[in-house]
Chain A
Amino acid sequence: MQKLIKDGAIVDNQYVLAQNDDTVPDKNTIVAVDKWLENPSAVAGIWLNSDQNPSLLKDVDLDQFDVIGINFPAFVDGRGFTYARLLRERFNFKGELRALGHFIPDQLGYLLRVGFNSFDFAEDVNLESALKLHKPFNVKYQGDANDPRPIFLRR
């Protein structure tokens, strides 16, 4: 079974990512958001591509999902950083927020701060090495998904 990093540990990936039309979604599947919106069913969760804004989900009860994935088609495509914050801060999603696709271990500090807590890296990434980078700086100026207070409320 493919491994991933979740909450700071290397664990088995318990879900199946549905990337094409053939997968019949079930309670273990993370299904593409547009497929799910066409045919809402009981699934583990949904995933957004980088051109799919979370506002697509504004009328959906997010508590029904254990996991929401955000895909990074390329690691320099930073839209997912905003989407994560919106899901956490505006849509109050409390479940697992999973980064998918071509993000890189050196982005972990920022990804953690915008609200991701699980990381399904590309296959060639060494998870043991990645885990060493699983830590933002100990100090930060801005508020973020984990603590909304900017530095001037914490100095």
Chain B
Amino acid sequence: MYQYDAIDHQLVAERVAQFRDQTERFLNKELSEQEFLPLRLQNGLYVQRYAPMLRVAIPYGMLSSNQLRTLADISRRYDRGYGHFSTRQNLQFNWPKLEDVPDILAELAEVEMHAIQTSGNCIRNTTTDQYSGVIADEIVDPRPYCELIRQWSTFHPEYAFLPRKFKIAVNANENADRAATQVHDIGLHIKKNAAGEIGFKVIVGGGLGRTPMVGVTISDFIPRADLLTYLEAIVRVYNQHGRRDNKYKARIKILVKALGIDEFRLRVEEEWKHIKNNESTVPAAEFDRLQSFFTEPEYQTLTDNPSNLTEKLADSTGFSRWFERNTFPHKKAGYRIVTLTLKKAGQAPGDATAEQMEKAADLADKYSFNELRVSHEQNLVLADVQQDQLVDLWNDCKEAGFATPTLGLLTDMICCPGGDFCALANAKSIPIAEQIQAEFDNLDYLYDIGELDLNISGCMNACGHHHVGNIGILGVDKKGEEFYQVSIGGASGHDASIGKILGPSFAQEEISRVIRKLVDVYVSQRTAEEHFIDTYRRIGITQFKEAVYAKAN
């Protein structure tokens, strides 16, 4: 993974010193609440319902075991012994003290981590596929490109006070989009042109929140050398013309929609004309340098399907379920990608205790070259596991609570922290997740239902990506009471779509019944090959609606 050099270290150190000074001035009342707000947000610090929340960046999801141990240690000494992995490859601490944050940042800096631009109206952490570099069907490894964007966007002097937050995600795979790139402000799809040159299809104006939209293509191919000047042109147009009078209409998606993609593209091209080929054009040597950080580990020469694996698959239903759901094919013979699920019943989705973080770090050391990844679905990934060690790893995972064999199934929910922690939330989301986990606790049934993304957000800010869940649940406030609106038909991959709202919202205790009704309709209507989303797309919303709102008689 990327290693800081003296320049990267110095920049993060100067940031820590700057934030320490800002925090001191705020606590001494030299800096007003209003002035401190955007400054602390640009360092990932929210003031939440019960305590501040600190969001730490895990750039494009790459995490060393050493970094994860530091996160565990920080959670134990400065927080309540756990952290929450978010949908955008960040880790959130829910209970730090404001005055401790500078010390936390200093400790993070020692392991090349930071909280820079994890919030605020600026360019956020760049995200990508958690399987980058280890799957056979990617066009190229997207991580060097993510690192290039990370550096370009970090402390960009022109774009620290944009109209609204700005998120970029990168995909390098035609068969799957695991980073929800089409619902980002900018989605980049790495591709090769006919001449074999690497470039990007650029998608702009996607986003969730109050007005969910799937992005539209602004360019089919931008050569990689021109990536930064092209991004610069887009963000510059947005910074000048994005709405600043209403925060709910300030995202780039609203500007793109208002102008129309053709007019927006014209403006970007007009701007680009002036800066294309300037000093920010990336030389091939820089791509080579960045790629040199993402070389293959020392793989052994192995063959697929070693006997201890095939025997266990034949013997143990539990193991074969876990193998089927929670592991993924690796580009190298004899290796497998393994997801450590953070979706155990009784645990908030994406939460990991300090002990779990340390355990995961130990597993990474033992099985996967000391590295992990964090996924958009709020799980951890060991990218390079030998197939002949899968049985041992499975046993270790079971002991640590990482083996819930439900990856991609209904109970592998994406969920925000919700009203239990978040000051913005209208409603709690974690009890909803628990209710659904309890309702669907039969693994055979879950397997029969098959792949189904269920996403839960506690409010319109949509941190739980409810719009793009096959089933989405949104917390709403009705005269001071917590209700839940349910939508179906959303998707976040290459077939991205925004879900449709079923109808009137439901009381908390009704949710598991509603989900079961929706699943029943799918099960009764599906063909042999169809997942939930396919059936929905074929038959439409009506039958689902009727089943859910039918009067009990």
Contacts and interface: CB of A to CB of B under 8 A. Distances in A.
Nearest to B236: A82
A78 B11 contact: no
Interface in B247-291: 274, 278-280, 282-283, 285-286, 289
A144 interface: yes
Contacts of B278: 143, 148
Contact of A142 (B31, B121, B163, B280): B280
A27 interface: no
A136 B160 CA distance: 14
A81 B158 contact: yes
A154 B160 CA distance: 23
A150 B152 contact: yes
B251 to A, nearest CB: 15
Given A75-B161, A90-B274, A152-B286, A142 B152 contact: yes
Contacts of A144: 157-158
B14 A137 contact: yes
A138 interface: yes
A34 interface: no
Contact of B7 (A53, A149, A151): A151
B35 A75 contact: yes
A39 interface: no
B66 interface: no
B11 A139 contact: yes
A106 B41 CA distance: 14
Interface in B509-541: none
Contact of B159 (A78, A109, A149, A153): A78
B15 A78 contact: no
Contacts of A81: 157-161, 239
Contacts of B38: 75-76
B158 A114 contact: yes
A53 B160 contact: no
A79 interface: yes
Interface string A119-134: 0000000000100000
Contact count band on B:
35 or more
B160 A110 contact: yes
B259 to A, nearest CB: 15
A104 B236 CA distance: 22
Contact of B282 (A77, A90, A107, A152): A152
Contacts of B30: 129
A85 interface: yes
A151 B151 contact: yes
A138 B236 CA distance: 25
Contact of A143 (B31, B163, B280, B283): B280
A77 B244 contact: yes
B17 to A, nearest CB: 10
B541 to A, nearest CB: 41
A107 to B, nearest CB: 8
Contacts of B286: 152
Which of B22, B31, B39, B152 has the most CB atoms of chain A within a 10 A radius of its CB? B152
B158 A76 contact: no
Nearest to B237: A82
B240 interface: yes
B26 to A, nearest CB: 10
B157 A113 contact: yes
Interface in A71-95: 75-79, 81-82, 85, 90
A141 B158 contact: no
Contact of A82 (B15, B154, B239, B289): B239
B155 interface: yes
A140 interface: yes
Given A85-B158, A106-B35, A110-B157, A79 B239 contact: yes
Nearest to B242: A79
Given A141-B154, A148-B279, A155-B5, A82 B244 contact: no
A81 B159 CA distance: 8
Contacts of A137: 10-11, 14-15, 18, 155
A103 to B, nearest CB: 9
Contact of A78 (B5, B35, B155, B239): B239
A153 B279 CA distance: 8
A139 B155 CA distance: 10
B157 A139 contact: no
B533 to A, nearest CB: 39
Contact of A152 (B35, B155, B283): B283
B51 interface: no
B279 A149 contact: yes
Nearest to A110: B157
B277 to A, nearest CB: 12
A143 B279 contact: yes
B7 A139 contact: yes
Contacts of B274: 90
Contact of A104 (B5, B35, B163, B279): B35
Which residue, of B161, B244, B279, B285, has the highest number of chain A Cβ atoms within 10 A? B161
A110 B159 CA distance: 9
A44 B394 CA distance: 75
A106 B31 contact: yes
Contacts of B7: 139, 151, 155
B22 A106 contact: yes
Contacts of A90: 274
A93 to B, nearest CB: 15
B551 interface: no
A30 to B, nearest CB: 22
Contact of B158 (A53, A82, A153, A155): A82
Contact of B39 (A79, A106, A114, A143): A106
B234 interface: no
A142 B239 contact: no
A40 B160 CA distance: 34
Nearest to A115: B157
4 nearest A-B pairs in the assembled complex, by CB-CB distance: A78-B161, A113-B157, A152-B286, A110-B157
Interface of A: 53, 75-79, 81-82, 85, 90, 104, 106-107, 109-111, 113-114, 129, 136-144, 148-153, 155
6 contacts: A76-B121, A78-B161, A78-B239, A85-B158, A107-B160, A153-B283
Given A137-B155, A140-B11, 4 more contacts: A90-B274, A137-B18, A140-B155, A141-B151
